[in-house]
Amino acid sequence: MVKAIVGANWGDEGKGKITDMLAADSDIVIRFQGGANAGHTIINEYGKFALHLLPSGSFNRNVVNMIGNGVALDIPELIKELDDVVARGVPKPNLVVSERAQVLMPYHKLFDKYEEERLSDRQFGSTKSGIAPFFSDKFSKIGFQVWELFDDEKRLREKIKNIIEIKNLMLEHIYHKPLIDADELYNELRGYGEMIEPYVIDSVQFMHHAVKSGKRILLEGQLGSLKDPDFGIYPMTTSSSTLAGYGTVGAGIAPYEIKEIITVVKAYSSAVGAGAFVSEIFGADADELRKRGGDGGEFGATTGRPRRMGWFDCVASRYGCRVQGTTQVAFTVLDVLGYLDEIPVCVGYEVDGEVIRDFPTTGKLERAKPVLKKLPGWKCDIRGIKKYEDLPENCRNYIEFVEKELEVPIKIVSNGPSRKDIILR
Ligand code: GDP
């Protein structure tokens, strides 16, 4: 039985918590895309953790945590994260890494940084984790799969020599930066190889047998639908697919095996990086929501940057659920809205004098103005409530309004950052 947990919005929907919760009933948790460029926040009996690459099942002894072939594998970062959780008293996670995962190279981070510097005021707002250069290289067929790090020496040296030729031309003529030395890079990659080899497996065989023997498998998505390179706010997206559908490729599972797609939807909006954000708010309203948002404020888990804030966006979230193929929604951070007398929600976009309800392509999106509707607030703290019926009436009305707009059932409501703040419907 394969389930996927993915985001409907711009990321930071609270997927980490829902994954951590569902990981307890899973045998295998898999990261299938992205890299160390976003963070999941998990709060459990060991403390508070920001995971960037480790799958969210890492706190459960009985779970095998897999880095799938679709991930941008930053080896030193992964090993550091592993060491960090162990140092904080977590039993060593059971980790495996696909031999086909590609390696995030030291120069990917440099090129990410140099390119953002070159773009200056036109920059993407990259986390500078090397993700865009990594995926460019993967699809230009000049990436390195993990197995290459500890395979034939001559082959690896030859490949390095060929690939740094173009990299050094760019460093010299475009960015005017120090060049890459082939021997140094070779030694660095061999070092990576030694670090990662104990975890590397043939993930295709592993997954084949896991599915066949009925293992409970959880695909863990990073970021959300609106950051998907095909369906998101292109080009202000990430560089690998954030959709559940890609989970079958990035983990190596047959498409028809995914039976449940749990899409995490946030009760208000937040986004990092540049790009259209129709329901965005500014000034004091934004500061207040940012301060109260998430667990201790809405600041990036990877960069610490203040997140852009906005009201709930029905147009974007319905679309976000639709492109995921959502079977049920987990509605999160609802407790945060308890301070408002009235809660604005965006129910349509006004574009070129017309109101639309279907999420448009980027040009129209950039011209869109939000059509807002105000719902009555509930003016109290809902943390600690365990049963749906015990939520204040206006709070239930808010959930039910959103559910109707999303056109998919909300089955999980998250009313606080900790694992126990959860209401099942
Ligand atoms: P992810 O990338 O989707 O996993 O999102 P994050 O891990 O960045 O989660 C966003 C923040 O919201 C984190 O600080 C979580 O601890 C916090 N969080 C998750 N669910 C809830 C909730 O229901 N209420 C509140 N107040 N905070 C939550």
**For the chain, what percent of residues have pLDDT higher than 70?**
100
Q: Report CA torsion sign: 287, 281, 268, 37.
A: negative
Q: Given pLDDT bands bounded at 50, 70 and 90, which one contains residue 301?
A: low
pLDDT tens readout for residues 310-325: 999 999 999 999 999 9
Cα separation, 127 vs 38, in Å, equals: 8
* Amino acid 125: pLDDT: 81
Least-confidence region, from 30-34, 277-281, 301-305: 301-305
Mean pLDDT, the chain, rounded, equals 95
* Amino acid 39: pLDDT: 75
> Which residues have a Cβ under 8 Å from the Cβ of 90 and sit 6 or more positions away?
46, 58, 59
- Are the beta carbons of 229 and 223 closer than 8 angstroms? no
Which of these, 274, 177, 269, lies nearest to 224 by C-alpha position? 269
* Amino acid 420: pLDDT: 87
Q: Which residue out of 27, 40, 112, 421 is catalytically annotated? A: 40
Ligand 1 centroid–CA 292 distance in Å is: 12
Residue 348 region by backbone torsions, left for phi larger than 0, else alpha for psi between -120 and 50, else beta: beta
pLDDT tens readout for residues 106-123: 999 999 999 999 999 888
For the CA atoms of 321, 322, 323, 324, the dihedral, rounded to the nearest 10 degrees, stands at: 50
| Number of neighbouring beta carbons within 10 Å of residue 372 | 12
* Amino acid 124: pLDDT: 85
Does 212 have pLDDT greater than 70? yes
Determine whether the shortest distance from the Cβ of 292 to ligand 1 is under 6 A. Answer: no
Does 334 have pLDDT greater than 90? yes
* Amino acid 71: pLDDT: 97
* Amino acid 367: pLDDT: 97
Q: Given pLDDT bands bounded at 50, 70 and 90, which one contains residue 419?
A: confident
pLDDT tens readout for residues 402-415: 999 999 999 999 99
Determine whether the shortest distance from the Cβ of 303 to ligand 1 is under 6 A. Answer: no
Q: Given pLDDT bands bounded at 50, 70 and 90, which one contains residue 161?
A: very high
Does 421 have pLDDT greater than 70? yes
Query: Is 263-424 in the same CATH topology as 102-196?
Result: no
In the predicted model, what is the mean pLDDT of residues 55-76? 95
Cα separation, 81 vs 51, in Å, equals: 7
Give the single-character DSSP code of 189.
H
- Are the beta carbons of 17 and 42 closer than 8 angstroms? yes
Fold of the domain built from segment(s) 2-98+201-262: Adenylosuccinate Synthetase; Chain A, domain 1 (3.40.440)
Cα separation, 291 vs 42, in Å, equals: 19
Partnered with residue 42 across adjacent β-strands are 49
Cα separation, 145 vs 171, in Å, equals: 23
* Amino acid 381: pLDDT: 97
Q: Given pLDDT bands bounded at 50, 70 and 90, which one contains residue 390?
A: very high
Fold of the domain built from segment(s) 102-196: Adenylosuccinate Synthetase, subunit A; domain 2 (1.10.300)
Does 302 have pLDDT greater than 80? no
Q: Given pLDDT bands bounded at 50, 70 and 90, which one contains residue 273?
A: confident
* Amino acid 100: pLDDT: 98
Cα separation, 30 vs 218, in Å, equals: 6
CATH code of the domain made up of 263-424: 3.90.170.10
- CA angle (328, 331, 332) in 5-degree steps: 145
Cα separation, 279 vs 276, in Å, equals: 9
Q: Report CA torsion sign: 187, 192, 194, 197.
A: negative
**Cα of 330 vs its chain's centroid, Å:** 15
Determine whether the shortest distance from the Cβ of 41 to ligand 1 is under 6 A. Answer: yes
> Which residues have a Cβ under 8 Å from the Cβ of 409 and sit 6 or more positions away?
328, 329, 403, 425
In the predicted model, what is the mean pLDDT of residues 262-281? 95
In the predicted model, what is the mean pLDDT of residues 235-260? 96
* Amino acid 117: pLDDT: 94
- Are the beta carbons of 321 and 298 closer than 8 angstroms? no
Cα separation, 19 vs 262, in Å, equals: 10
- Which class for 144: exposed (0-12), middle (13-18), buried (19 or more C-beta within 10 A)? buried
Give the single-character DSSP code of 44.
E
Nearest CA to ligand 1 atom 28: 417
At 39 the three-state DSSP class reads: coil
Partnered with residue 94 across adjacent β-strands are 64
Q: Where are the beta strands (DSSP E) in 118-239?
A: 200-201, 217-224
In the predicted model, what is the mean pLDDT of residues 49-59? 91
Cα separation, 152 vs 252, in Å, equals: 26
Between β-strands 269-271 and 308-310, what pairing exists: parallel, antiparallel or unpaired?
antiparallel
At 306 the three-state DSSP class reads: strand
What are the backbone angles phi and psi of residue 416, rounded to the nearest 5°?
165, 160
Is 12 catalytic? The answer is yes
* Amino acid 256: pLDDT: 96
Q: Given pLDDT bands bounded at 50, 70 and 90, which one contains residue 296?
A: confident
Determine whether the shortest distance from the Cβ of 130 to ligand 1 is under 6 A. Answer: no
Is 52 catalytic? The answer is no
Residue ranges covered by each domain of the chain: 2-98+201-262, 102-196, 263-424
Does 300 have pLDDT greater than 80? no
- Are the beta carbons of 15 and 242 closer than 8 angstroms? no
Ligand 1 centroid–CA 169 distance in Å is: 43
Does 232 have pLDDT greater than 70? yes
Q: Report CA torsion sign: 191, 193, 197, 199.
A: positive
Ligand 1 centroid–CA 135 distance in Å is: 27
First to last CA, the chain: 22
Determine whether the shortest distance from the Cβ of 416 to ligand 1 is under 6 A. Answer: yes
- The amino acid occupying position 118 is R
Enter the pTM of the model.
0.94
